[in-house]
Chains A and B, each alone.
Chain A
Amino acid sequence: MTKEEAQGATEEEQQAQSKKGQKKQQKEAEKAAKKAEKQAKLAAEQQSTEEDDFAKDRYGMPAMVQSQQKLDRALVRVQDLTPERADQLIWLRARVHTSRAKGKQCFLVLRQQQFNVQALVAVGDRASKQMVKFAANITKESIVDVEAAVRKVEQKIESCSQQDVELHIERIFVVSQAEARLPLQLDDAVRPEAVGEEEGRATVNQDTKLDNRVIDLRTTTSQAIFRLQSGVCQLFRDTLTTKGFVEIQTPKIISAASEGGANVFTVSYFKTSAYLAQSPQLYKQMCICADFEKVFCVGPVFRAEDSNTHRHLTEFVGLDIEMAFNYHYHEVIDSITDTMVQIFKGLRDNFQTEIQTVNKQFPSEPFKFLEPTLRLEFTEGVAMLREAGVEMGDEEDLSTPNEKLLGRLVKEKYDTDFYVLDKYPLAVRPFYTMPDPSDPKYSNSYDMFMRGEEILSGAQRVHDAQLLTERATHHQIDLEKIKAYIDSFRYGAPPHGGGGIGLERVCMLYLGLHNVRQTSMFPRDPKRLTP
């Protein structure tokens, strides 16, 4: 190619470009004209609506609620909208879950927490054409105040929780408007994975849900999960309080790691450094030495394990128990297992709606348990595993797959999802674990399992300062750092034992969910620090 030719070619290109440019400009001009026309039309319409809209006081966007006035208006809860309220005129505040305009009427689904109801604005003597249009244009997730008449319906509304009534809206005001684009659709977030795949419809993956946790928490599933979680906490507290336990608060910033130094967060503490508590272990024991006899503690627990699994978090809520006993640490096991059984019973009897709501999205078998709780010994567990073909040493700890397998074997024989494994090998437990008097290879320690996964680790603790020092030395722990702890046993300490449960794990396993992040409101793991 010569230089001229090359130039010619570029000129041609430029010409072509300018031609394109002209066309583009023309198009844009047309577009602008259309837009202007549209706007003019809209303005005209608006004017006309303003002129002849008889219902203009019945809808709109009132001023922001800055507590200007204290209305004496009773707002009815969506869940209370039953046929008994038929033909009453009521006010309620709810979110617009969906809206669907259809000619002269607009159907809305109004949602309040896990309940929803169908509402209808229809052109008539109460609502104008403009009002229906306004209702149809309210963005999803906006919060509205609605005055409406409750009407019974002939046919059950299958898609709503309030199936027997609908609302005929007479007034509608937007209290808080949501942005038009939502980062995720609530309906997509509650769709069971299997259904999504089958129908080729969208489901939302875990990370998107967690990134937009505030919206995800509005789903019926999340609402149910966290109501149930609150129930677990309350049942835990109620049961233990009835048993004569005292709730204590312990510091989370501590000077020494309680369970091995590896997985502990270090924080700078003025001119020195401190740790975030891995468990309230040492403090609840000190409370026992201080004559509190039976204590429990609900609070955050930190683990700096860099494990990205379905069941590990770096911060979770620990439910911890410690109690003095008379002669045998099984008194402690009995107390803890009974507490767990009371929790399971309470959930079974009082949270059936929540359990079923979660089951709709994440189907699972109902949680089964025995009362009193089944207790097996470690050697029995090992024998069951060996019978099933697993090779393992006598003093070897259970690996996670073996734990799950043992859970399946126990479920097959005893049909329980909850059991205790007692008498672990001493070698695999922390230094403060009391050795078994009849066989020093074993210890007075136990784990509790739900659906084959460990939820609680506990033991009788060494309450004798001398033995404790021996055990700590054996574990090569710096005695200087745990001096205060060991000293607390020098002045008379009762025999005692206890254990700690992870709240999130209990909820996850009770509901048969697959990821502990689902039962943590704002989960923390090695890769997630927000929201």
Chain B
Amino acid sequence: SPTFSSTTLKGTTDLDTLLGKDHGALRDIVINANPAQPPLTLLVLHSLLCQRYRVLSTVHVHSSVASVPPQLLSCLGPRHADSYARQLFQLGFTLIWKDVPKLQMKFSIQNMCPIEGEANVARFLFKLLAPYPGDAALATSVDSWVDTAFFQLVEGSAKEQAAVLRALNSALGRSPWLVGPEFSLADVACYCCLLRSGSASVAPANVQRWLKSCENVGHFGSAKALLQ
């Protein structure tokens, strides 16, 4: 079975190049998510980001939400021992449980409009870990799988879900990961959406094998815990 190491995600770790000039302050990524729909993909990406960078993770509850189950409050893991000194971190990951119709990311408020939709935020976060494949066809293929995951696996009818499972099965018959030889955002999105749709147990053989491989990667724990 395919193995995964952090070197699989090769790419630049220079945040200045990726995110622009450093103003001497923590680069804080703010994510507003509705507690009714926990963003599983983002939790997986958070775990990957923590492996790569010094990430200050915090969870807040916005006043628009009355109460939040305890597992949502601890979904980013235990508090970092150095969290009293924000300056020691490279990246801030601030998750706010809030009454929003659509998941939202706010980063550089001077230069960026808020990004809406879990899929789009996931694309942004993944690019901090690894560049998209240079090949345009592969990059588009990743995007296409992400769309399929969110629109057809999560929101689609039973018929649509079954069609996606068939497509996944045939794609995974050709290669260990969904797009190309390497683990990509396509795998993260499809894994999480499959879990959320509840159709993981009825998945065909190739998909089952791939699900196991994803779990071996080791960053899906927090997402899985939320579904229990």
Complex CA–CA separation, A249 to B119 (angstroms): 57
Q: Which one of A155-163, A238-246, A409-417 is at the interface?
A: A409-417
Does A368 contact B24, Cβ atoms closer than 8 Å? Answer: no
Does B63 contact A387, Cβ atoms closer than 8 Å? Answer: no
Interchain CB contact (< 8 A) of A380 among B32, B58, B86 = B86
Given contacts A376-B86, A377-B87, A383 and B24 within 8 Å (CB-CB): yes
Chain B 12-36 interface 0/1 with A at a Cβ cutoff of 8 Å (1 = within): 0000000000011110101010000
Does A344 contact B84, Cβ atoms closer than 8 Å? Answer: no
Tell me the nearest residue of chain A to B22, going by C-beta.
A383
Interface positions, chain B 47-96, Cβ under 8 Å from A, are 58, 60-64, 84-87, 94, 96
Interchain CB contact (< 8 A) of A415 among B32, B61, B85 = B32
Complex CA–CA separation, A163 to B79 (angstroms): 53
Interchain CB contact (< 8 A) of A370 among B62, B85, B87, B106 = B62
Does B63 contact A374, Cβ atoms closer than 8 Å? Answer: no
Query: Any chain A CB within 8 A of the CB of B202?
Result: no
Interface positions, chain B 160-204, Cβ under 8 Å from A, are none
Chain A 251-279 interface 0/1 with B at a Cβ cutoff of 8 Å (1 = within): 00000000000000000000000000000
Does B26 contact A412, Cβ atoms closer than 8 Å? Answer: no
Query: Any chain A CB within 8 A of the CB of B137?
Result: no
Does B62 contact A383, Cβ atoms closer than 8 Å? Answer: no
Query: Any chain A CB within 8 A of the CB of B136?
Result: no
Chain B nearest CB: distance from A405 CB in Å?
12
Which of A344, A372, A386, A414 has most chain B Cβ within 10 Å?
Answer: A414
Query: Any chain B CB within 8 A of the CB of A296?
Result: no
Does A413 contact B63, Cβ atoms closer than 8 Å? Answer: no
Chain A nearest CB: distance from B211 CB in Å?
36
Interface positions, chain A 354-375, Cβ under 8 Å from B, are 366-372, 374-375
Query: Any chain A CB within 8 A of the CB of B110?
Result: yes
Complex CA–CA separation, A413 to B29 (angstroms): 9
Interchain CB contact (< 8 A) of B109 among A368, A382, A412 = A412
| Residues on the A chain within 8 Å of B46, using CB | none
Complex CA–CA separation, A376 to B87 (angstroms): 10
| Residues on the A chain within 8 Å of B26, using CB | 377, 380
Tell me the nearest residue of chain B to A383, going by C-beta.
B25
Given contacts A328-B84, A330-B84, A386-B23, A413 and B60 within 8 Å (CB-CB): no
Tell me the nearest residue of chain B to A374, going by C-beta.
B60
Chain A nearest CB: distance from B38 CB in Å?
18
Does A414 contact B94, Cβ atoms closer than 8 Å? Answer: yes
Query: Any chain B CB within 8 A of the CB of A219?
Result: no
Does B98 contact A415, Cβ atoms closer than 8 Å? Answer: yes
Complex CA–CA separation, A377 to B58 (angstroms): 15
| Residues on the B chain within 8 Å of A414, using CB | 30, 94, 96, 106
| Residues on the B chain within 8 Å of A368, using CB | 62-64
Chain A nearest CB: distance from B176 CB in Å?
40
Query: Any chain B CB within 8 A of the CB of A384?
Result: yes
Does B23 contact A367, Cβ atoms closer than 8 Å? Answer: no
Tell me the nearest residue of chain B to A410, going by C-beta.
B109
Chain B nearest CB: distance from A381 CB in Å?
8
Chain A 373-409 interface 0/1 with B at a Cβ cutoff of 8 Å (1 = within): 0111101101110111000000000000000000001
Given contacts A377-B86, A384-B25, A387-B23, A370 and B110 within 8 Å (CB-CB): no
Query: Any chain B CB within 8 A of the CB of A348?
Result: yes
Chain B nearest CB: distance from A217 CB in Å?
30
| Residues on the A chain within 8 Å of B61, using CB | 370-371
Complex CA–CA separation, A438 to B110 (angstroms): 31
Number of interface residues of B (CB under 8 A): 24
Chain B nearest CB: distance from A407 CB in Å?
13
Chain A 66-79 interface 0/1 with B at a Cβ cutoff of 8 Å (1 = within): 00000000000000
Chain B nearest CB: distance from A432 CB in Å?
21
| Residues on the B chain within 8 Å of A412, using CB | 106, 109
Chain A nearest CB: distance from B98 CB in Å?
7
| Residues on the A chain within 8 Å of B30, using CB | 413-414
Chain A nearest CB: distance from B58 CB in Å?
8
Interchain CB contact (< 8 A) of B60 among A366, A370, A376 = A370
Which of B24, B94, B109 has most chain A Cβ within 10 Å?
Answer: B109
| Residues on the B chain within 8 Å of A387, using CB | 23, 108, 110
| Residues on the A chain within 8 Å of B62, using CB | 368-370, 415-416
Interchain CB contact (< 8 A) of B24 among A345, A370, A379, A438 = A379
Complex CA–CA separation, A345 to B61 (angstroms): 12
| Residues on the B chain within 8 Å of A386, using CB | 23
Interchain CB contact (< 8 A) of B25 among A369, A379, A415 = A379
Given contacts A368-B62, A369-B63, A370-B63, A409 and B24 within 8 Å (CB-CB): no
| Residues on the A chain within 8 Å of B85, using CB | 438
| Residues on the B chain within 8 Å of A438, using CB | 85
Which of A345, A375, A413 has most chain B Cβ within 10 Å?
Answer: A413
Does B87 contact A379, Cβ atoms closer than 8 Å? Answer: yes
Chain B 109-131 interface 0/1 with A at a Cβ cutoff of 8 Å (1 = within): 11000000000000000000000
Complex CA–CA separation, A371 to B30 (angstroms): 15
Chain B nearest CB: distance from A61 CB in Å?
52
| Residues on the B chain within 8 Å of A379, using CB | 24-25, 87
| Residues on the A chain within 8 Å of B86, using CB | 375-377, 380
Interchain CB contact (< 8 A) of B96 among A328, A366, A370 = A370
Tell me the nearest residue of chain B to A368, going by C-beta.
B63
Tell me the nearest residue of chain B to A422, going by C-beta.
B86
Interchain CB contact (< 8 A) of A344 among B60, B63, B109 = B63
Chain B nearest CB: distance from A375 CB in Å?
8
| Residues on the A chain within 8 Å of B64, using CB | 368
| Residues on the A chain within 8 Å of B108, using CB | 387
Tell me the nearest residue of chain B to A414, going by C-beta.
B30
| Residues on the B chain within 8 Å of A377, using CB | 25-26, 86-87
| Residues on the A chain within 8 Å of B23, using CB | 383, 386-387
| Residues on the B chain within 8 Å of A371, using CB | 60-61, 63
Complex CA–CA separation, A415 to B96 (angstroms): 10
Complex CA–CA separation, A258 to B25 (angstroms): 34
Complex CA–CA separation, A379 to B22 (angstroms): 13
| Residues on the A chain within 8 Å of B94, using CB | 414
Give me 22 A-to-B residue pairs in the complex whose CB atoms sit less than 8 angstroms apart, sorted by A's number. A345-B63, A368-B62, A369-B62, A370-B60, A370-B62, A370-B63, A370-B96, A375-B86, A377-B26, A377-B87, A379-B24, A382-B25, A383-B24, A383-B25, A387-B110, A409-B109, A413-B30, A414-B96, A414-B106, A415-B32, A415-B96, A415-B98
The 6 A-B pairs of least Cβ separation, nearest first, read A383-B25, A370-B60, A383-B23, A380-B25, A371-B61, A369-B63
List 9 extra interface pairs beyond A380-B25, A380-B26, A409-B109, CB under 8 A. A369-B63, A377-B87, A383-B25, A387-B110, A388-B110, A412-B109, A414-B106, A415-B32, A416-B62
